[in-house]
Structure 1
Amino acid sequence: MRHARRKSLASALALALSFGLLTGVGMAASPDKREADGADGAKAAATATATYTKVSDWGSGFEGKWTLKNTGSAPINGWTVEWTFPSDTKVTSSWDATVTNSGTTWTAKDKGWNGTLAPGASVSFGFNGTGGGAATNCKLNGASCDGTQPGDALPSAPGTPAASDITDTSVKLSWSAATDDKGVKNYDVLRDGAKVATVEGLTYTDTGLTKGTDYAYTVRARDTADQVGPTSGVRQVRTTGGGDPEPPGDKVKLGYFTNWGVYQRNYHVKNLVTSGSAEKITHINYAFGNVQGGKCTIGDAYADYDKAYTADQSVDGKADTWDQPLRGNFNQLRKLKQKYPHIKILYSFGGWTWSGGFGEAMKNPAAFADSCYKLVEDPRWADVFDGIDLDWEYPNACGLTCDTSGPAVMKDMMKAFRDRFGSNNLVTAAITADASPDGKIDKADYGGAAQYTDWYNVMTYDFFGAWDAKGPTAPHSPLTSYPGIPKQDFNSDSAIKKLKAKGVPAKKLLLGIGFYGRGWTGVTQKEPGGTATGPAPGKYEQGIEDYKDLKDRCPSNGTVGGTAYAHCGNQWWSYDTPATIGGKMNYAKQQGLGGSFFWEFSGDTANGELMTAINNGLK
């Protein structure tokens, strides 16, 4: 297994911190930055705050800065800031403070001349350092750096703002009230993370905007002690005028859409439009078709092409009729492509549950490929699909079932499908990210198969989870290794490097992102590596939960290996946030990868904030 690449981890953290992301418990962004940082649980100061930012990173070192602000009503006479750095991080020089350390604990004291802070005043000090530079466990004069006082609860999050009266230069916002034990005083309105107004009511009209431009609005409440609560959900707004939205770029941005999501999850193709995701993606994998009896077959006929959609559920606002030749998801995807012609759609076959039929089918690769071609190119929906994705978990290895076809089977399969589908159709595959010695990447000829493949969706998630019921707790999608990781080569960087070493071109590799978290219960330790009693409860399945539910139910309070984790009560979860996705997209660009993909759309928020993070990160 490959050892951790500290430079990759540092780069990911540097990107996050350059956007003001705060690391660790007890630190809060300045009020105008908190929403941009994604720190939904951040708290405003009742007395004073200390905020850490990483100003720059030049590979072999970095510049850090602390900013202190007196938000109370009395002067502060003298200040001391304490924090923890990882063992690889050292302060080499400092200014405007005296900085010392005892092991990994670092202490900064005022210089005397800058020790007095009047109410509302701020002071900063800086330093140069080496290592990753992620600060945690901050204390200011012995108290929490977020400035909150015991027993004084924060206000709740207001409702996600609604947008109306949108013009070329203005938009009216309205939201439902927050609650607080001592009363809500007013609300901050933030545009793209920056505060634009503080109002006492529940509406605000933002003016002076640019036509044809995308804006993201959030709202947060302040209580009578001037404490700031968590931000609301994000409302995406595009002003009128200005032509068509910006195209999504040349990197692949692919999401899986599941046919079963139309049932309990109540997630439909139209949600791609209302969330704003449709204009940001380049490709969709429709999951899943089955593999049985040596051929490709329909996975769910009702959801795929029979379910009738009402006008309010339909992409184009038109209801299905009883006698139309095609209904269901296939027809909705057709309408989506008509509305967003840049989107390409692939029909994905297999997946964890339906991978067992691949071994039998590959006894006759040409017949297998031909059956799939005839199904994908069925005249009823041939215009919907632009190719095929093969999700075999795993060739010549074990998943839900075990396969012993031999390492050449991957190359043979991709060649057969390329021969049958031709050069005008996309032929892709979802593949393992197990880079351990003699692990799943070593079991099949992914390098040889790459010549026939448009790209691989490298499933860089589900490395760890509550199938190990007792733990140790570990993030399910680490970008890099970290001290104490249960298996050294169970991380994205190791998988990408190993596939490259086997001859897979970087541009044919897509980095995988999970729009969900994995978690344990019975956990007392906040940091990774704790013991557990079993999987945490989930809405649909134990040990797994959508990001849209976890972000508020169990907000992240730490990062490790380039991804986020959260400890709330006795539960421990790991998942990606917009900030950690930004770091992963930076990694994808640095490695020259073809782009990114994710599993799957319904785990995102109603306004598509994770999809937005992928889109922004790959620009």
Structure 2
Amino acid sequence: MSRPGGRRALALGGALTIAMTATLPAGPPAAANQARAAAVTASCTKTSDWGTGFEGKCTVTNGTGSALNGWKVEFDLPAGTSIGSSWDTTRSVSGNRYTFTDAGWNATIAAGGTASFGFGGTGPGWISGCTVNGGACDGTGAPADTEAPGAPANLRSTGTTSSSVALAWNAAADNVGVTAYDVYQGTAKAATVTGTTATVSGLSAKTAYTFTVKARDAAGNVSAASNALTVTTAEGGGTGPGGGKVIGYFAQWGVYQRGYHVKNIDTSGSAAKLTHINYAFGNVQNGQCTIGDSYADYDRFYQAGESVDGQADSWDAGALRGSFNQLRKLKKKHPHLKVIWSFGGWTWSGGFGQAAANPAAFAESCYKLVEDPRWADVFDGIDIDWEYPNACGLTCDTSGPAAFRNLMSALRSRFGTGNLVTAAITADGTAGGKIDAADYGGAAQYVDWYLPMTYDFFGAWDADGPTAPHSPLTSYDGIPTQGFHSDAAIQKLRSKGVPASKLLLGIGFYGRGWRGVTQSAPGGSATGAAPGTYEAGIEDYKVLKGRCPSTGTVAGTAYAKCGDQWWSYDTPATIGGKMTYAKNQGLAGSFFWELSGDTTGGELITAMRNGLG
């Protein structure tokens, strides 16, 4: 599973406090201090520093007497130091100059209020030359900007599909400079961009929508609306038709506490609806592919009643047992099924950095393991689940933007065209986020398909909320982070040259939840993670459908309020909508994490199969 927007609790490292904005009049120190107290300021600290990299956090404080509508922080980093990831902000970079603007949802800061954003970087240096909203970070600088930009002109449509409208407009003028444009669908904000184009997705076919655009400057001044534009989406079909792949993950550890075995794939009816199974996970250690759990993989003895074909495993020397042997039996019973061995995952992605240093050697080790004579007939290829190349996740990787492409090239060369080579990848569609950190477009030529992990966007690692669906299909008014939704990931990957026919839409067969919640709609505060069977804050769909039934939908997915708990998860109905999206976008199909979360009768996989046709 992926956590595109995960937060990490880290020890406090070196710190630098930076005061920012408003001009200070000449005068004695007391007057200057008083002026600073009435300014917008920010405190920026290194929350963690491990020598070769760091994480930082900036908290913007509105010390003025009125609300601040928008903010922009800029600073320089010295040569050899760079920032590769950020959250709760929109990031851009020009040379060594970094610009951080509000993420839309945190643009407004009440008088006396604060807003924070974080970032992760590499190198030993730190911030210099900081400005905010045009003023110096030491509390002196340019006068406050109170002039709103002019209205954007000539809003027009540059293309439509059955589910999206592409828009463009002329740049707005401003006395200092426009920092963002807010696109409105009716009265709801549909997108925030820094350029003069945007695509609004997740729309219904053959339906009329009205759009306007407003400009914002760094001081938060907002323009009047552009001309109103009404556009009708195309009839159903979009860029389709989409593919019919249905790929499910089988988690090797499910054979323990969960009691979910390969036989359950058959008895639930899921095997007949799947096209591929991804077996998770093999490990990545010392630059090589290695076994993840030898007992579960190929040594556990299955009695006759546990076995796919009703035959007990053999104790003969060299006989294959465990899940590998059960998968062999499942493929024999369902000859259409393909099985792919997946390596990495959130916990084991840290090993890919060393692998990237010698891609050919890594590919050779993977080929020898996947094609081991004991189980070569079980697997039809390899899946690489490197979740944060050249970015930070559970650990930080500094292998460079070309490392992922080089790794996939080496794997394709070694595995040839007769084996499948696929990759599960980040779904972080934010500006300057994880998709931007690696060359997914360049690597697309080497893979049969990508599996963008379009789930885990939000969860109770942010213990106090706001509550938000962990797998939104589209953006919505109040989404905590712009770009953390499925459509943003799909469109960003397509913009980088990845064909739609090589992309699948990810579905979570589980929910994420908070406790201490009083608000039914998304956006409420919380006190911590809701209780879960195996881990706080997460629960299988098969449990939630009865324990906390859905009470509403937002952004193409469902949410539920029961007692003081708030959960989000997909239902058969919302999966149906997501499959329509996948077809309209011309995607290769859909995949899910993971098989044991579904009901005994396979409700969710049935919805996927029926939705894709």
Fold similarity call, TM over 0.5: yes
1:311 corresponds in structure 2 to 304
Is there any run of 5+ residues in structure 2 with no aligned partner, and where? 1-89, 91-102, 106-156, 165-202, 213-230, 234-241
Deviation at 1:321, TM superposition (A): 2.2
What is the DSSP-based 3-state SS (H/G/I as helix, E as strand, rest coil) of the residue aligned with 2:310? coil
Work out whether 1:273 is the aligned partner of 2:420.
no
1:60 to 207, 210, 217: 207
1:441 corresponds in structure 2 to 435
1:253 corresponds in structure 2 to 246
TM-score (norm 2): 0.62
Pick closer, same or farther for the CA change 1:131–1:518 going to 2, 3 Å.
Answer: farther
One-letter amino acid of the structure 1 residue matched with residue 544 of structure 2: L
One-letter amino acid of the structure 1 residue matched with residue 336 of structure 2: H
Give the Cα–Cα distance (whole angstroms) in 2 for the partners of residues 3 and 594 of structure 1.
32
Alignment of 1:379-398 (within 5 A): 379-398=373-392
2:594 to 588, 593, 600: 600
Deviations 1:448-501 (A, max 9, x none): 000000000000000000000000000000000000000111000010000000
One-letter amino acid of the structure 2 residue matched with residue 299 of structure 1: G
Contact 2:243/2:586 (<8 A) preserved: no
Contact 1:8/1:480 (<8 A) preserved: no
Contact 2:356/2:404 (<8 A) preserved: no
1:284 to 267, 277, 285: 277
Give the Cα–Cα distance (whole angstroms) in 2 for the partners of residues 433 and 618 of structure 1.
21
Give the Cα–Cα distance (whole angstroms) in 2 for the partners of residues 320 and 531 of structure 1.
52
What is the DSSP-based 3-state SS (H/G/I as helix, E as strand, rest coil) of the residue aligned with 1:362? helix
One-letter amino acid of the structure 1 residue matched with residue 246 of structure 2: K
1:564 corresponds in structure 2 to 558
1:296 to 283, 289, 293: 289
Alignment of 1:425-504 (within 5 A): 425-504=419-498
What is the DSSP-based 3-state SS (H/G/I as helix, E as strand, rest coil) of the residue aligned with 1:394? coil
Deviation at 1:510, TM superposition (A): 0.6
Work out whether 1:362 is the aligned partner of 2:356.
yes
Give the Cα–Cα distance (whole angstroms) in 2 for the partners of residues 349 and 589 of structure 1.
28
Give the Cα–Cα distance (whole angstroms) in 1 for the partners of residues 503 and 232 of structure 2.
29
Give the Cα–Cα distance (whole angstroms) in 1 for the partners of residues 207 and 583 of structure 2.
20
Pick closer, same or farther for the CA change 1:554–1:365 going to 2, 3 Å.
Answer: same
Deviations 1:396-428 (A, max 9, x none): 001100001110011101100000000000000
Give the Cα–Cα distance (whole angstroms) in 2 for the partners of residues 59 and 522 of structure 1.
42
Contact 1:521/1:571 (<8 A) preserved: yes
What is the DSSP-based 3-state SS (H/G/I as helix, E as strand, rest coil) of the residue aligned with 2:357? coil
Q: How many pairs align? A: 395
Deviation at 1:59, TM superposition (A): 2.6
Deviation at 1:382, TM superposition (A): 0.1
Pick closer, same or farther for the CA change 1:321–1:585 going to 2, 3 Å.
Answer: same
What is the DSSP-based 3-state SS (H/G/I as helix, E as strand, rest coil) of the residue aligned with 2:525? coil
2:39 corresponds in structure 1 to none
Pick closer, same or farther for the CA change 1:3–1:387 going to 2, 3 Å.
Answer: farther
1:27 corresponds in structure 2 to none
2:313 corresponds in structure 1 to 320
Is there any run of 5+ residues in structure 1 with no aligned partner, and where? 12-55, 63-86, 89-129, 133-248
One-letter amino acid of the structure 2 residue matched with residue 569 of structure 1: G
Work out whether 1:378 is the aligned partner of 2:372.
yes
Give the Cα–Cα distance (whole angstroms) in 1 for the partners of residues 556 and 311 of structure 2.
44
One-letter amino acid of the structure 2 residue matched with residue 306 of structure 1: D
TM-score (norm 1): 0.61
Deviations 1:339-380 (A, max 9, x none): 001000000000011111100111110000000000000000
2:533 corresponds in structure 1 to 539
Pick closer, same or farther for the CA change 1:328–1:8 going to 2, 3 Å.
Answer: farther
1:551 corresponds in structure 2 to 545
2:510 to 507, 510, 516: 516
Contact 1:295/1:367 (<8 A) preserved: yes
Work out whether 1:587 is the aligned partner of 2:587.
no
Deviations 1:78-135 (A, max 9, x none): xxxxxxxxx99xxxxxxxxxxxxxxxxxxxxxxxxxxxxxxxxxxxxxxxxx999xxx
Contact 2:391/2:397 (<8 A) preserved: yes
Work out whether 1:413 is the aligned partner of 2:407.
yes
Deviation at 1:10, TM superposition (A): 7.7
Give the Cα–Cα distance (whole angstroms) in 2 for the partners of residues 57 and 494 of structure 1.
17
Give the Cα–Cα distance (whole angstroms) in 1 for the partners of residues 252 and 557 of structure 2.
28
Deviations 1:141-172 (A, max 9, x none): xxxxxxxxxxxxxxxxxxxxxxxxxxxxxxxx
1:125 corresponds in structure 2 to none
Contact 1:3/1:489 (<8 A) preserved: no
Work out whether 1:424 is the aligned partner of 2:427.
no
Give the Cα–Cα distance (whole angstroms) in 1 for the partners of residues 544 and 423 of structure 2.
29
Pick closer, same or farther for the CA change 1:250–1:483 going to 2, 3 Å.
Answer: closer
Pick closer, same or farther for the CA change 1:514–1:561 going to 2, 3 Å.
Answer: same
One-letter amino acid of the structure 1 residue matched with residue 271 of structure 2: A
Give the Cα–Cα distance (whole angstroms) in 2 for the partners of residues 503 and 61 of structure 1.
29
One-letter amino acid of the structure 2 residue matched with residue 564 of structure 1: A
Deviation at 1:252, TM superposition (A): 1.2
Contact 1:9/1:562 (<8 A) preserved: no
Pick closer, same or farther for the CA change 1:385–1:425 going to 2, 3 Å.
Answer: same
Kindly report the root-mean-square deviation, in angstroms, between the aligned alpha carbons of the 2 structures.
Answer: 2.6
Give the Cα–Cα distance (whole angstroms) in 1 for the partners of residues 466 and 255 of structure 2.
35
Pick closer, same or farther for the CA change 1:401–1:57 going to 2, 3 Å.
Answer: closer
Contact 2:429/2:484 (<8 A) preserved: yes
Give the Cα–Cα distance (whole angstroms) in 2 for the partners of residues 529 and 464 of structure 1.
11
Runs of 4 or more above 4 Å deviation:
1-5, 7-11
Contact 1:535/1:542 (<8 A) preserved: yes
One-letter amino acid of the structure 1 residue matched with residue 397 of structure 2: D
Contact 2:243/2:583 (<8 A) preserved: no
One-letter amino acid of the structure 1 residue matched with residue 278 of structure 2: N
Deviation at 1:251, TM superposition (A): 1.7
Give the Cα–Cα distance (whole angstroms) in 2 for the partners of residues 461 and 131 of structure 1.
30
Give the Cα–Cα distance (whole angstroms) in 2 for the partners of residues 3 and 279 of structure 1.
45
Pick closer, same or farther for the CA change 1:416–1:306 going to 2, 3 Å.
Answer: same
Alignment of 1:157-176 (within 5 A): none
Deviations 1:269-295 (A, max 9, x none): 000011000000000000000000110
One-letter amino acid of the structure 1 residue matched with residue 326 of structure 2: Q
Pick closer, same or farther for the CA change 1:383–1:537 going to 2, 3 Å.
Answer: same
One-letter amino acid of the structure 2 residue matched with residue 530 of structure 1: G
Aligned identity (percent) is 73
One-letter amino acid of the structure 2 residue matched with residue 392 of structure 1: W
Contact 2:162/2:204 (<8 A) preserved: no
Give the Cα–Cα distance (whole angstroms) in 1 for the partners of residues 204 and 607 of structure 2.
22
Deviation at 1:322, TM superposition (A): 1.4
1:506 to 491, 500, 519: 500
What is the DSSP-based 3-state SS (H/G/I as helix, E as strand, rest coil) of the residue aligned with 2:325? helix
Contact 1:428/1:455 (<8 A) preserved: yes
Give the Cα–Cα distance (whole angstroms) in 1 for the partners of residues 570 and 611 of structure 2.
14
One-letter amino acid of the structure 2 residue matched with residue 323 of structure 1: D
What is the DSSP-based 3-state SS (H/G/I as helix, E as strand, rest coil) of the residue aligned with 1:566? strand
One-letter amino acid of the structure 2 residue matched with residue 432 of structure 1: T
1:230 corresponds in structure 2 to none
Give the Cα–Cα distance (whole angstroms) in 1 for the partners of residues 163 and 343 of structure 2.
37
Deviation at 1:60, TM superposition (A): 2.2
